[in-house]
Amino acid sequence: MTLVDLPETEPRDVEPTIVATAAPAPGAHPALVLAALAMGGFAIGTTEFAAMSLVPAFAPELGIDAPTAGHVISAYALGVVVGAPVIAVLAARIARRTLLVGLMVLFALGNGLSALAPSYGWMLAFRFLAGLPHGAYFGVAALVAASLVPRARRSQAVSRVIAGLTIATVVGVPLANAIGQLVGWRWSFGLVALLALTTATLVRLFAPHGAPAAGASALRELGALRRGQVWLTLATGAIGFGGLFSVYTYLASTMLEVTQAPAASIPPILAVFGLGLTLGNLACAWAADRALMPAAGATLLWSAGALALYPFATASLWTLAPVVFLIGCGGGLATILQTRLMDVAEDAQTLAAALNHSAFNVANALGPWLAGLALAAGLGLPATGWVGVVLALGGLAIWAASLLAERRTRPARLRPAA
């Protein structure tokens, strides 16, 4: 592995990159590998988003109100934030296939226990446990996916993995929500546990084994934390993505209390959001493989505009549905920033890739928390859209700072190698 400076003709502003990837095993079929990895994304996406939509179902049974139930969502997000860096560092020398299988088994355990939670306190603990493998799984899966394709198609390969999560919002989340309404919310978490075990089996069968990267160590992974562009990229996601979660967490409650829609209309609207998320993921990946930083800025602007429409759209399902679709499209930011971290992390790929999902789950905790403050202040459920606008614009400001810093250092970075 060598460090190579990009030539002057490189069309994108990126830092020199070392991509620590394992070569595919002989006979490994990229399509089967990506499908197996996407199944894990489907399981994670189902539990992450379905838990938000099930707040009206599990809150009464656990004896808590809706704002308190939001802490259950935050506990999962906290598990992601803590688990991603810790696992990435401690598992630096574990073969990626072995690590992915172990992460999915732990994820299945966390969700299975969530289905059995006897009280609010235990639910918090089990959701935290379920969140621990989330970020590390996506980070390692993204690196495996990128290793299967040419550099110019990295974002699209990563988007295939994340597509599992986005498709979950179209199929898995509405299904889990419907199951929660029909037979109880506990069965929804049981379904996720089964999906996770299925993923572990598929990854074990199809993913290349791959040896750990030469020289891999916890110390080398921690080197990512010394790079300013890594922190700016993570901050862009942690702030900019929070707007989506500020709206999505309270979407079901908004439909019931403000739109006065029947409970049966919640799954279709969640599917509309998921469709936007899926199409946005694919479109943003295509754009990122051509102009990565402009794609990130444009996505944040799109999110701010869509979230600004939300407070005016909550009165009717006919206006709410298209706006929810537009908000979902902004979720493509995840793929863009995942690829960006591959460019700026140099030889600390695993930790940086995993931290991307820590950042998004900081957003998952920050968005609902700030929206909850707005609700506690009496601003009403539609005001969650304005909270989202502020967060999206905050992410855009950090993106601009990252771009400016990179342009200031670019001439020094692009000097021909001796």
DSSP labels, 122-175: HHHHHHHHHHTTHHHHHHHHHHHHHHTS-GGGHHHHHHHHHHHHHHIIIIIHHH
Show the low-confidence residues of the chain (pLDDT under 50).
1-27, 412-418
Superfamily of domain 30-214+226-413, CATH level 4: MFS general substrate transporter like domains (1.20.1250.20)
| 262 Rama sector, left if φ>0, alpha if ψ -120 to 50, beta otherwise | beta
Spatial distance between the Cα atoms of 73 and 49, rounded to a whole number of angstroms: 9
Predicted local distance difference test score (pLDDT) of residue 26: 47
pLDDT score recorded for residue 219: 60
Q: Residue 212: what pLDDT? A: 59
Q: Which amino acid is at 218?
A: A
**Residue pLDDT, tens place only, 23-68:** 444 445 788 888 999 999 999 988 887 887 787 778 888 888 777 7
DSSP 8-state symbol, 12: S
* pLDDT value of residue 113: 94
- What pLDDT, on the 0 to 100 scale, is given for residue 56? 77
Mean per-residue pLDDT over the chain, rounded: 82
Kindly list the domain boundaries of the chain, sorted by start residue: 30-214+226-413
- The CA-based diameter of the chain, rounded to the nearest angstrom, is 68
Q: Alpha-carbon distance 397 to 378, whole Å?
A: 28
Exposure string over 10-45, b if 16+ CB within 10 A, otherwise e: eeebbbebbbbbbebeeebebeebbebbbbbbbbbb
DSSP state of 23: P
Q: How many CB atoms lie within 10 A of CB 68?
A: 14
Q: Is 17 helix (H, G, I), strand (E, B) or coil?
A: strand
Question: CA–CA separation, 329 vs 309, rounded Å?
Answer: 14
Interval 361-389: pLDDT, tens? 788 778 888 998 998 888 889 999 999 99
Dihedral, 133, 135, 141, 142 alpha carbons, nearest 10:
180
4 by DSSP, 3-state: which?
strand
CA distances from 277 to 125, 170, 273 (A): 29, 9, 6
Q: Return the bridge partners of 4, or none.
A: 17
Rounded to an integer, what distance in angstroms lies between the CA atom of residue 237 and that of residue 296? 10
pTM: 0.75
pLDDT for residue 9:
36
Place of tokens 């199944």: 39
